[in-house]
Amino acid sequence: MAYATIVSNKPADPLEPLAYRDIDTPLGELRLVASPKGLRGAWFTDQEMLPSPEGWTRTDANPILEQARRELDDWFAGKRRGFDVALDPIGTTFQHKVWHALCALEFGKLASYGDLARTVGRPKGAQAVGGAVGRNPIIIIIPCHRVIGADTSLTGFGGGLPRKQALLAHEGNRYVSRNPRARRVCDGQAELPW
């Protein structure tokens, strides 16, 4: 996965041209947003954190958005396990460290907040890692759904626990409940639940 952003603490340029499109997925409508350098965001359109598209250009002709759509279609169809689209999320240096660590998680592999904290060199920073995971602007492609509690509990997910449960099942991890305290019951072959 190509991470286009040079990590900085600078806020997004309000004059930077951003393009977007909404796509259908088995888990609901997803809004994809691209800068000239890469995918800037991916949110389900019913997420609380969905930014306003004011000032963005709606298009189906953007090559970054089209690549992201194709790769997501293939991922949901079970034809792909990773993503190649260039990424350009905005965040702090620490958030980028966490998002890079998320991108390193392989399909079907889960990590706890503590595991990620150790990976990014902050072994006592599980809460800070949780904050960075919760601010992930590129859902599914930066796989924050692969982060669970140390006891294998589902914990939270910006797209909602039913979606997290479905994404984990797609990758072979089973949860019988959508309760945040639900624990993983088994690992199995990836099956498409939709």
**DSSP run (H or E) holding 117:** helix 113-119
The model's confidence at residue 177, banded by pLDDT at 50, 70 and 90, is low
**pTM, full prediction:** 0.87
Per-residue pLDDT tens digits for 33-81: 999 999 999 999 999 889 999 999 999 999 999 999 999 999 999 999 9
Cβ atoms of 194 and 27 within 8 Å: the answer is yes
* pLDDT on residue 150: 86
* pLDDT on residue 16: 87
Cβ atoms < 10 Å from Cβ of 181: 10
* pLDDT on residue 151: 83
Residue labelled with tokens 């930077």: 16
- The CA distance from 39 to 32, in Å, is 7
Lowest mean pLDDT among 20-34, 92-106, 159-173: 159-173
Is there a catalytic annotation at residue 144? yes
* pLDDT on residue 3: 59
Q: Which of 33, 120, 144, 182 is catalytic?
A: 144
Residue labelled with tokens 């088994």: 186
Q: What percent of the chain has pLDDT over 90?
A: 74
- The CA distance from 119 to 173, in Å, is 22
